[in-house]
């Protein structure tokens, strides 16, 4: 069981160590990926960036303000006009408001689950978890979106197909949260987990460079010797585990030899002004790193909102604003998100990458309509907002609506499996397809989800 493992052990199992020799291979799943009769939007996204606002951002102070509601519901902030006539966001997101014409907002997502981990599991896998309480990850979990995309659409240009950074999700001091691993498909489907701080001086990732004492020629000779050794013993080790390990080795070698992969982590190559635009905190630089990774060929990058030391001292870290909601949003949370999200969308657009990159900003749920006695908002899975851009999505859209208090959908209610189906469709994976589990049984990619027509076209 996962609870018996430490956070560091899970990072080791899913990420890099020993010069990359623990990289998960992408193995043997198959799903229909042909574009026949699936419409022009099928496979339009070459890559995807998921900005995961862990803790649950409030819909009222972001994308669904309620100016006509009582103050205990609308909060302290006013709506502002966006670049789309008639559409308003919170005044806390001025830069995002200026790029509203490049994005679509969903105001009617729902899980009806107020658990960080169980609701988050649904958002990150497309499959509902039966629990309504906080739960750890389990080897029997459904594989996460990053796992599926990485396995079924492996990168042709990068040694990495799916990446999660800058740290793993967990609820306070609990074990890692579900929805981040390969689940019942095993470690070979795990995304690459990078526990890192891209805002740190002289930032680099362990394992991406040769040790100083090993020259490139000497390394190549060692690789050739190892392959010769493997070929010599292949007849007596021809089993699934040996084959999987051989793929792990090959990926590790590819990482070290692939200059493009290594260069993606060299943030110092970026202009100082651009790094400043993203924000110099761990979050902002992680978002910039995500852009560099997809530019280098990574299929999917999930950026988790990090738990920083000064943030942890509040008692309610990340977006989990059970108290002091207004101050936390005004001084810490919204400014960082506003800078990074708007910069990412603009940066991708200026580089000609937005049409082939799907960007999603979401949390596990929203916050309660009514502000509590501590000046905070509590967990609320019944209705919340998320934002999407890129991959040919028509900008300036608002999909669905909530009631006058922002508590329940009143039009176009959507579920996480619909979001998962949309991601798969745009990434060129048939959401009606399946894959084979380790026992050879077909498993459906989505749990009845349908691609959101407003995003993918008729």
The pLDDT assigned to 218 comes to 53
Q: What is the pLDDT along the chain (458 residues), one digit of tens a residue?
A: 333 344 444 443 344 333 332 333 333 344 666 655 689 999 999 999 999 999 999 999 999 999 999 999 999 999 999 999 999 999 999 999 999 999 999 999 999 999 999 999 999 999 999 999 999 999 999 999 999 999 999 999 998 999 999 999 998 888 999 999 999 999 999 999 999 999 999 898 876 755 555 555 554 555 455 455 555 555 544 454 544 445 444 555 455 456 677 889 999 999 999 999 999 999 999 999 999 999 999 999 999 999 988 877 677 899 999 999 999 999 999 999 999 999 999 999 999 999 999 999 999 999 999 999 999 999 999 999 999 999 999 999 999 999 999 999 999 999 999 999 999 999 999 999 999 999 999 999 999 999 999 999 96
Question: In 400-448, where do the E strands start and end?
Answer: 401-402, 409-411, 434-436, 442-444
CA dist., res. 109 & res. 274, Å (int):
33
CA dist., res. 53 & res. 303, Å (int):
9
CA dist., res. 63 & res. 75, Å (int):
13
Q: How many CA atoms lie within 13 Å of 105's alpha carbon, on the beta-carbon side?
A: 22
Q: How would DSSP label each residue in 92-152?
A: T-HHHHHTGGGEEEEEEE------HHHHHHHHHHSS--S--S-----TTSPPPHHHHHHHH
Of 144, 103, 111, the closest CA to residue 14 belongs to: 144
Q: Is 2-456 CATH 3.40.462.40?
A: no
The pLDDT assigned to 215 comes to 54
The bridge status of strand 434-436 relative to strand 409-411 is unpaired
Q: Is 170 helix (H, G, I), strand (E, B) or coil?
A: strand
Q: How would DSSP label each residue in 181-246?
A: S-GGG-GGGPPEE----TTSTT---TTSS--TTS-HHHHHHHHHHHHHHHHHHGGG--SHHHHHHH
Domain ranges of the chain: 2-456
């Amino acid at each position: 069981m996962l609870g018996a493992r430490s956070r560091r052990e899970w990072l080791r199992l899913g990420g890099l160590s020993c010069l990359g020799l623990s990289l998960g291979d992408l193995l043997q799943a198959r799903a229909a990926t042909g574009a026949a009769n699936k419409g022009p939007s099928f496979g339009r996204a070459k890559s995807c960036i998921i900005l995961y606002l862990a803790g649950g951002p409030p819909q009222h102070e972001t994308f669904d303000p309620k100016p006509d509601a009582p103050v205990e519901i609308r909060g302290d902030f006013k709506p502002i006009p966006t670049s789309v006539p008639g559409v308003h966001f919170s005044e806390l997101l001025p830069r995002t408001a200026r790029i509203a014409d490049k994005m679509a907002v969903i105001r009617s997502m729902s899980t009806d689950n107020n658990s960080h981990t169980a609701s988050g599991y649904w958002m990150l896998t497309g499959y509902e978890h039966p629990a309504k309480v906080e739960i750890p990850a389990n080897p029997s979990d459904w594989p996460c979106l990053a796992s599926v995309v990485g396995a079924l659409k492996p990168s042709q240009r990068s040694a990495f197909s799916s990446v999660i950074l800058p740290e793993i999700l967990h609820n306070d001091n609990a074990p890692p949260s579900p929805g981040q691993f390969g689940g019942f498909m095993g470690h070979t489907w795990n995304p690459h987990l990078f526990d890192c701080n891209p805002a740190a001086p002289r930032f680099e990732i362990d394992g991406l460079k040769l040790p100083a004492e090993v020259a490139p020629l000497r390394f190549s000779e060692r690789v050739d010797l190892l392959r010769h050794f493997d070929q010599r013993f292949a007849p007596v080790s021809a089993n699934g585990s040996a084959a999987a390990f051989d793929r792990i080795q090959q990926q590790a070698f590819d990482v070290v030899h692939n200059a493009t992969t290594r260069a993606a982590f060299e943030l110092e190559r970026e202009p100082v002004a651009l790094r400043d635009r993203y924000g110099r905190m761990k979050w902002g630089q992680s978002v910039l790193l995500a852009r560099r990774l997809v530019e280098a060929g990574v299929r999917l990058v999930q950026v988790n909102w990090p738990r920083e030391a000064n943030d942890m001292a509040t008692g309610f870290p990340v977006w989990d604003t059970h108290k002091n909601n207004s101050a936390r949003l005004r001084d810490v949370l919204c400014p960082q998100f506003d800078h990074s999200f708007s910069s990412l969308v603009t940066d991708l657009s200026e580089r000609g990458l937005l049409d082939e990159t799907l960007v999603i900003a979401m949390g596990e749920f929203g916050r309660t309509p009514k502000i509590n006695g501590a000046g905070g908002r509590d967990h609320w899975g019944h209705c919340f907002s998320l934002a999407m851009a890129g991959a040919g999505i028509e900008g300036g859209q608002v999909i669905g609506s909530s009631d006058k208090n922002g508590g329940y959908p009143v039009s176009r209610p959507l579920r996480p499996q619909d979001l998962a189906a949309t991601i798969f469709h745009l990434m060129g994976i048939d959401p009606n397809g399946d894959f084979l589990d380790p026992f050879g049984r077909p498993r459906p990619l989505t749990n009845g989800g349908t691609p959101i027509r407003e995003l993918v076209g008729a």
